Chains A and B, each alone.
Chain A
Amino acid sequence: MAEYKLNMIDEDEDLMNAAAAEERYTLSEFLEEIETDVENSFSDARWITAEISSITNNFPGGHCYLELVETETGGDKIIAKARATIWREKNRMLTPFFRETAGGDLRSGMKVLIKAGAAFSTVFGFSLNIINIEPSFTLGDMEAHRQQTLKRLDKEGLMNLNKELAIPALPCRIAVVSAEGAAGYGDFIKHIKEGADDKSHPLASVHFKIELFESPMQGSEAPEGIAKAFSLIAACQKEFDIVVLIRGGGSQMDLACFDEYIVAKAIAESPLPVVTGVGHDRDIHICDMVACHPVKTPTAAAAFLLGIFAEQKELVASMEERMQKAATLYFGRQDSLLEQLITMVRATSGNYVLKQQNILEQKKISVGNIISKFLTARENEIKMLELRLQSSSPMKILEKGYSMVFVDGRKAVSINDINDGSHLRILMRDGEVNVTVSKKSDVE
């Protein structure tokens, strides 16, 4: 041990001796030398690609401070790291330029192509002095990232998973994923309430249960936050009918988190159908592509839900109408059927009466005929009797010049009725004579 200590002292002494022998610099002297060298060697700015790991932008009044990194290809290991600054004068131009071209502000996690020179400060150390920036690179990178995400989702079969879920007929228990203070959330609530409060609206009687699952809706924390909110909802899925993911419109960059894989995966794997209302009309995000029902804005999401109820109401109303129509038609048919029956019965009875009348008429005629015949027969009978009477009447015989002979009050037609000495009464046309028979003789 003692020996070791001795050796240590010896070494220190050696170093001390060596330092005494060489020229000494103050820190500033040394760093100033580096500063000069850096400035001389890297006087020309160069185009550099890097990823922003953090950023503090004091636009419009101040400078923008960034930390740039480069990670190993296909890994997370940082292989280069440097501070960078956009000085106020440049920042006044670059921040608006980038915002306008890329549709959003620089933020952490973003890949950038910058033109920068090297700078070294004796106090602040090494940094990059950014003088220009190429937004199209960032956009291209984002698009490439987006395409990668899409490919991955497709490969994992997540693209249509949520679309296969059916939206319930009356979704009134709504889990909302949004940020409490976000304008989009306010719009959504306001629209739903207006719909539910409007007494003329079919929703007047619908009681909505809306629960907010808060998450940051932009920035680097947003994807994790949204995914977490979805897992919380999934844990109590029986309490809800539908999930609504909403956020008011923002720049393309602000909404970049809605292109993130973990957000898309959370939506795709949601056991409840998801309605997305993220951003404005022109924004189509991956989360919209995987959601069961994407709409453009939070207001549209509210309108969609209200529309479902209106649709149901209309459906019921149309069924009612159809039933009424069918009933009216049915009763109308029955009415006309009855009418027909009545007409038929009338016609039949009319025919019957007519037939009976005809029959009666015929009977009358035949009865008339019978009576006529009968009367004629009776008349003939009487006539016959009259004729017989007339032909037997003695008056007629007497008129013709014949006489009638009665013997003992009886008509005498043969000499056998008469004897000699019989008293006869002879009837003649204008009287009678009483004679006594003196002799009778046979006519030969």
Chain B
Amino acid sequence: MAEEKKTYEQAVQELNALVKKIEDPNVSFTDLESGLKRAMELIKFCKEELQGYKEKFDNIK
């Protein structure tokens, strides 16, 4: 991922926006294409982040 310093919250925020955009019936082809790609990346990032938190949390417990 290009921007390393993106936080989870920012990622989710962006993801939300992307999903809304993609769901929009008037979505442009370019937006759809790039949006999809970006969204998949963000989902992956978020899942990894969450997994990291989970592991950290389990360690604390």
Residues of chain A having any CB pair with chain B under 8 Å: 364, 368, 371-372, 375, 378-379, 381-382, 385-386, 388-389, 392-394, 406, 409-411, 413, 425
Contacts and interface: CB of A to CB of B under 8 A. Distances in A.
B15 A392 contact: no
A385 B28 CA distance: 20
Nearest to B9: A378
Interface string B44-60: 00110010011001001
B32 A394 contact: yes
Interface residues of B, number: 27
A345 B39 CA distance: 61
Contacts of B12: 378, 381-382, 385
Contact of B43 (A375, A382, A409, A413): A382
B61 A368 contact: yes
Given A368-B61, A382-B50, A392-B19, A411 B26 contact: yes
Nearest to A395: B36
B15 A385 contact: yes
Contact of B29 (A379, A382, A406, A413): A406
B11 to A, nearest CB: 9
6 contacts: A375-B50, A385-B16, A389-B39, A409-B29, A410-B26, A411-B28
Contact of A371 (B43, B46, B57): B57
Given A375-B57, A406-B29, A411-B29, A382 B47 contact: yes
A411 B15 contact: no
Contacts of A381: 12
Contacts, number: 62
Interface in B24-40: 25-30, 32, 36, 39-40
- The DSSP consensus for interface residues of chain B is helix
- The DSSP consensus for interface residues of chain A is helix
B50 A413 contact: no
Contacts of B23: 388, 392
Contact of B36 (A371, A379, A393): A393
Contacts of B43: 382, 385-386, 389
B13 to A, nearest CB: 11
Contacts of B29: 406, 409-411, 425
Nearest to B27: A411
B53 A375 contact: yes
B6 to A, nearest CB: 15
A372 B55 CA distance: 11
A411 B12 CA distance: 26
Contacts of B15: 382, 385
Contacts of B50: 375, 378-379, 382
A388 B25 CA distance: 13
A257 to B, nearest CB: 114
Closest 9 interchain pairs by CB?
A392-B22, A382-B46, A392-B23, A406-B29, A388-B19, A409-B28, A389-B39, A385-B19, A386-B43
Contact of B25 (A368, A382, A413): A413
Contacts of B46: 378, 382
B33 to A, nearest CB: 9
Nearest to A379: B50
Contacts of B40: 389
B22 A375 contact: no
Given A382-B12, A389-B19, A372 B57 contact: yes
A13 to B, nearest CB: 174
A406 B19 CA distance: 19
Given A375-B57, A413-B25, 17 more contacts: A368-B57, A368-B60, A368-B61, A371-B53, A371-B57, A379-B50, A381-B12, A382-B12, A382-B47, A389-B18, A409-B28, A409-B29, A409-B30, A411-B25, A411-B29, A411-B32, A425-B29
Contacts of B30: 409
Contacts of B36: 389, 393-394
B53 A410 contact: no
From A411, A413, A425, name the one whose CB has the most chain B CB atoms within 10 angstroms.
A411
B17 to A, nearest CB: 11
B44 to A, nearest CB: 10
Contacts of A378: 8, 12, 46, 50
A371 B58 CA distance: 10
A394 B25 CA distance: 11
Contacts of B32: 394, 411
Contacts of B25: 411, 413
A427 to B, nearest CB: 8
